[in-house]
Amino acid sequence: MEANSAVNKGNAVNVRDMIADKKRSRNLSNVMEKVMPKVLLVIATISILTTIGILFTLLTETIEFFQRIPFVEFFTGTVLKPLSQNPEFGVLPLLTGTLISSGIAMFVAIPIGLMTAIYLSEYASDKVRRIVKPILEILAGIPTIVYGFFALTFVTPILREFIPGLQATNILSPGIVMGIMIIPMVASLSEDAMSSVPNSMREGALALGSTKLEVTGKVIIPAAMSGIIASFVLGISRAIGETMIVTIASGSSKNFTFDITQSMQTMTAYIVEVTGGDAPAGSTIYYSLYAVAMTLFVFTLIMNLLARYISRRFREEY
């Protein structure tokens, strides 16, 4: 374009200018060409820095903590009295609280989530699927604080009607509500796994005279097993890391018990309690916060890696 207009003017100087222009812009774009990858590389390393930051902050303070409290004592102690005059730091009450609440959550989420996935993947018509899936997404998008409010002001009073001896703060109610929160996650991940089983296998089984249920139970679920198990593991990881629901609905008593009608504290709720009290830097309780966070981090990391390993390692190749 420009070349034409320049030629029309028939002005040599202009042509020179143009060439100079071209060179300049070529230089500029060359610079861009060289600089941009480096800039982007720097940006891309921020995510790595975040991980390093998490590991570094947790590790340094955790190491300090274990110099004060022996490792074995921390992981086998059944008494947690971080604030008392003669403090004791046993993490077991928090571990049981975490595992019991996550266990209750999965007890709710696994059967309902899996059955929802089967229905959507094998039984539902396209129309139903198009309606239900967005609704499940809404359920997944509700902030956890809303579930916490729901657990404390709605679920706990209802449960107390039916279960005598249930404390006003207990681990059962947040566990159930957490399960409800995780249903969409389990359902959608399992449904993805089942939907990706090729249709030829379904049709083959149907052609041999199986009912849909038999197809699901004997063909689809075994074939999609790795994805389904992975969704369970991810669900557990999500439950372990959940904070607000248990903080609001289960109080802060550090009971070492297996009685689900009692109040227990999870690792996440402990972190909230201690930071809410903002322990002064340098005290043992301050370091205990990082030790508990580290434990939580390792737990969820193992779960996430396990989920990925399962879905890779046992994936059926068609």
Looking at residues 94 to 113 of the shown chain, list those that interact with another protein (rule: CB under 8 A). 111-112
Q: Contacts with another protein in 171-200 (CB under 8 A)?
A: 180, 183-184, 187
Residues 42-101 that bind another protein (CB under 8 A): 43-48, 50-51, 53-54, 57-58, 83-85
Buried/exposed code over 209-225 (b: 16+ C-beta within 10 A; e: otherwise) = ebeeeebbeebbbebbb
Q: If binding is defined by CB under 8 A, does position 278 make contact with another protein?
A: yes
The residue among 10 and 161 lying less far from another protein, judged by its C-beta, is 161
144 binds another protein, rule: CB under 8 A: yes
Q: Does 164 bind another protein (CB under 8 A)?
A: no
Least gap, CB of 199 to another protein (angstroms): 19
Task: Classify burial at 315, counting beta carbons within 10 Å of its beta carbon; exposed 0-12, middle 13-18, buried 19 or more.
Answer: middle
CB of 156 to another protein, least distance (A): 9
Q: Tell me if 153 contacts another protein by CB under 8 A.
A: yes
Among the listed residues 212, 229, 260, 316, the single contact to another protein using CB under 8 A: 212
| Closer residue to another protein, CB minimum distance, 7 or 36 | 36
Shortest distance (Å) from residue 12 CB to another protein: 25
CB atoms near residue 5 (< 10 Å): 10
**Looking at beta carbons only, is 46 or 72 nearer to another protein?**
46
Question: How far is it, in rounded angstroms, from Cα 131 to Cα 201?
Answer: 27
Which of 145, 140, 221, 141 has the alpha carbon at shortest distance from 186?
A: 140
> Which residues ranging from 221 to 250 are in contact with another protein (CB under 8 A)?
234, 237, 240-244, 247-248
Show Cβ contacts of residue 129 under 8 Å, excluding neighbours closer than 6 positions.
120
Nearer Cβ to another protein (223/279): 279
d(CA 258, CA 139): 30
Nearer to another protein, 12 or 48 (CB): 48
Maximal CA-CA distance, the chain:
99
The reply on whether position 284 binds another protein by CB under 8 A is no
Contacting range for another protein; rule: CB under 8 A; set: 12-20, 115-123, 193-201, 224-232 = 115-123
Residue at 257: amino acid letter? T
Pairwise CA distance, residues 178 & 196, whole Å? 28
Quote the CA–CA distance of 24 and 32 in Å, as a whole number. 12
Residue 81 burial (10 A CB sphere; 0-12, 13-18, 19+): middle
| Closer CB to another protein, 8 or 298, in the complex | 298
Please report how close the Cβ of residue 152 comes to another protein at its closest, in angstroms.
Answer: 6
The residues that bridge with 80 in the sheet, in sequence order, are: 89
Q: Which residues lie closer than 8 Å to 84 by C-beta, 6 or more apart?
A: none
Of the pair 63, 213, the CB lying nearest another protein is at 213
CB of 161 to another protein, least distance (A): 12
12 binds another protein (CB under 8 A): no
DSSP 88: E
* Contact yes or no for 54/296 (Cβ under 8 A): no
Nearer to another protein, 226 or 268 (CB): 268
